[in-house]
Structure 1
Amino acid sequence: MKKLLVIILFLGIQFGYVSCSKDNDSRPEQPLVAETFLNVSYGNNAQEKYDLYLPENRSTEKTKVIVLVHGGGWTGGDKADMDFLIPYIKLRHPDHAIVNINYVLADINTPAFPNQFLDLDAVINKLTSEKDELHILPEFALIGASAGAHISLMYDYAYDTDDQVKLVGDIVGPSDFTDPFYSENPDFPFLMAALVDENAYPPGTNYAEVLSPALRVSNNSSPTLLFYGNADPLVSLSNATTLNSALDNAQIDHTLNIYEGGHGDWANVDIEDMKAQISAYVDTYLEVDN
């Protein structure tokens, strides 16, 4: 009898454990809340930081990423310059993550190229490696302004070998350094020499060609939105038309928008049109599957 009671007690404990385990397993997971992480480090340089905005209810199955890349002539600017887009993106694309990046600015000791392309690569690699921890799907849109647009175009056209970038928004980005607008400027060779790390390229490299996104377009390039001003003193409209033609020839989906004004100093209605077009491309090429 004593042995029978022990067996019954043991079975009762086991049944209770299994029941509790089943109850625990059947509990729905708590949805993730929205989180913001500012000045996340992605390298050893103090400038290698980004701001990360994670949406609520995110997951590794659906939460794709919009990356913002500021301008400033490769030597200046800050991620805060792109903050104006963040409220719009959050409102229009509440299921996407947003990353607003800084990169190491060029100076007398630190050339821009290819280091700034590699900074963007480091951001994408870090986010990809942390996808499970962050609950994101590492597919990206790159939205860049001026020098940031050049960096974004170059990254997609020349560095994105895993095809993680699905679209590029090019806001007044230099795209063709062989354009007479640049090449006939007597100061241009000195500027190019200051921006390029010659040790990173083979001897005899034509830097104006290698660093021109319009000359790096291929059928592997991502859909691209182009936004330029018709009176831009820094980026000739011919840069826009050259890139547009290259995308035409490669049969890459793209749209060229030309606004009245200079280097992004356009009417509010044009700025809103730009935002809406970027948003439509995100809906098409970086769609979230709910």
Structure 2
Amino acid sequence: MNKKSAKKGVIFFLGILTISCSSTFEEVGTIEEDILIPKEEVDLPLKELSLLDVSYGENPQQAYDIYLPADRSSDKTKVILLVHGGGWVEGDKASMTPFIELIKERHPQHAIVNMNYVLAGVTPVIPAFPNQFLDIRKVVEKIIAEKEDLQLLPEFGLIGTSAGAHLSLMYDFVYDTEDRVKFVVDIVGPTDFTHPFFSEDLNFSLALSLFVDESQYPEGTNYAEATSPVFNVSSMSSPVAMFYGNQDPLVPLGNGEALDVALTSFEIEHIYTIYEGGHGDDWSDADILDLQEQISRFIEEYLPVN
């Protein structure tokens, strides 16, 4: 089996979830470079501001957009971080725009960060794990370092779709050692690479071996387990809102069920919703509205504005 077929196999597994939202998106004070807010303006009533393609690393793909609400302050304005899907090898933050619209409409006092990460590759080999987990950490650390300039309280909620949900879960379960993350929204995220759906597929098994940077893991590591959220849940994990389709051709429903069991065993607060349909693109309008309502309630409960 060659690397080209492996790449096709990986792209087959995970697509990008796009959710429609009816509100109108409007950018205010857009800046398309990495510019911090002047200190002399911090004491003034702060206006809504959007900073686009802010760099957080040397790779051009290491960039995020940040949407700062009006009247923000470092003692109340918390952050919702969006992580796109695309099978770890493709996708872009632009696909998460509907979530920006939803949050702006229903939670206008929250800041929003919409990030890209370095995509994995087969030719040449560009590992996904743990590099993409670490990209989330770099974004979080940059926001923390700039909290006074941005006037943000660095507490985070993560919303991920498909591969982005997997990355969000792994970041919270493994890398969020200071408990900055207060919840994770997991929309059709893969959670268990030992499931036969993945482990018995030769394309995926080969891709996983290419996607792992073995130099960053201890010798003898079981990589399927080390990169699967279900094997990394602990009593320190954050609350999780889970959404899956019962006929998903890309992520088996058993992955949702396995995470539900793992979270329950550690008594982690979570909700688990199963919709009729596949990977999110064919869910009914009523189900999409239900998902939006549940996400909104999760934000209010676990990332409230004090």
TM-score of the two chains, using structure 2 as the length reference: 0.84
Give the Cα–Cα distance (whole angstroms) in 2 for the partners of residues 219 and 252 of structure 1: 7
Is 1:39 the counterpart of 2:53? The answer is yes
Tell me the equivalent position of 1:180. Answer: 196
Tell me the equivalent position of 2:170. Answer: 154
Is 1:258 the counterpart of 2:274? The answer is yes
Q: For residues 101-116 of structure 1, what are the structure 2 equivalents within 5 Å?
A: 101-107=115-121, 108-116=124-132
Moved more, 260-269 or 246-255: 260-269
Give the Cα–Cα distance (whole angstroms) in 2 for the partners of residues 89 and 189 of structure 1: 37
Q: Which has the higher helix share?
A: 1
Tell me the equivalent position of 2:261. Answer: 245
Conserved in 1, the CA contact under 8 Å of 2:198 and 2:205?
A: no
Q: Identify unmatched segments of 5+ residues in structure 2.
A: 1-42
Question: How far is 1:97 from its partner?
Answer: 0.1
* Structure 1 runs (4+) greater than 6 angstroms displaced: none
Task: Note the alpha carbon deviations across 1:247-281, whole angstroms, 9 max, x for none.
Answer: 01110110111001111121121111111111101
Is 1:135 the counterpart of 2:151? The answer is yes
Task: Note the alpha carbon deviations across 1:144-181, whole angstroms, 9 max, x for none.
Answer: 00000000000000000000000000000000011111
Give the Cα–Cα distance (whole angstroms) in 1 for the partners of residues 200 and 61 of structure 2: 33
* Counterpart among 56, 71, 79 of residue 57 in structure 1: 71
Give the Cα–Cα distance (whole angstroms) in 2 for the partners of residues 177 and 139 of structure 1: 30
Is 1:201 the counterpart of 2:217? The answer is yes
Structure number, greater radius of gyration: 1
* Counterpart among 199, 212, 219 of residue 228 in structure 2: 212
Give the Cα–Cα distance (whole angstroms) in 2 for the partners of residues 167 and 195 of structure 1: 27
Is 1:287 the counterpart of 2:304? The answer is yes
Give the Cα–Cα distance (whole angstroms) in 2 for the partners of residues 199 and 56 of structure 1: 44
Tell me the equivalent position of 2:291. Answer: 274
Give the aligned residue type for 1:168: V
Give the Cα–Cα distance (whole angstroms) in 2 for the partners of residues 88 and 277 of structure 1: 12
Tell me the equivalent position of 2:99. Answer: 85
Percent identity for Structure 1 against Structure 2: 58
Question: How far is 1:188 from its partner?
Answer: 2.5
Conserved in 1, the CA contact under 8 Å of 2:125 and 2:210?
A: no
SS of 1:187's partner is helix
SS of 1:252's partner is coil
Tell me the equivalent position of 1:8. Answer: none
Give the Cα–Cα distance (whole angstroms) in 1 for the partners of residues 200 and 58 of structure 2: 38
Tell me the equivalent position of 1:145. Answer: 161
Tell me the equivalent position of 2:248. Answer: 232
Give the Cα–Cα distance (whole angstroms) in 2 for the partners of residues 81 and 188 of structure 1: 24
SS of 2:132's partner is helix
- CA RMSD of superposed structures (Å): 1.1
TM-score of the two chains, using structure 1 as the length reference: 0.89
Question: How far is 1:30 from its partner?
Answer: 2.9
Question: How far is 1:222 from its partner?
Answer: 0.2
Give the Cα–Cα distance (whole angstroms) in 1 for the partners of residues 138 and 57 of structure 2: 8
Question: How far is 1:114 from its partner?
Answer: 0.4
Give the Cα–Cα distance (whole angstroms) in 2 for the partners of residues 93 and 251 of structure 1: 28
Give the Cα–Cα distance (whole angstroms) in 1 for the partners of residues 55 and 285 of structure 2: 34
- Higher RCO (CA < 8 A, seq sep 6+): 2
Q: Identify unmatched segments of 5+ residues in structure 1.
A: 1-28
Give the aligned residue type for 2:64: Y
* Counterpart among 85, 93, 98 of residue 71 in structure 1: 85
SS of 2:202's partner is coil
Task: Note the alpha carbon deviations across 1:93-116, whole angstroms, 9 max, x for none.
Answer: 010000000000001331000000
Give the aligned residue type for 1:81: S
Give the Cα–Cα distance (whole angstroms) in 2 for the partners of residues 245 and 226 of structure 1: 12
Moved more, 239-248 or 265-274: 265-274
Task: Note the alpha carbon deviations across 1:188-207, whole angstroms, 9 max, x for none.
Answer: 22011111111111111100
Give the aligned residue type for 2:303: L
Question: How far is 1:187 from its partner?
Answer: 2.1
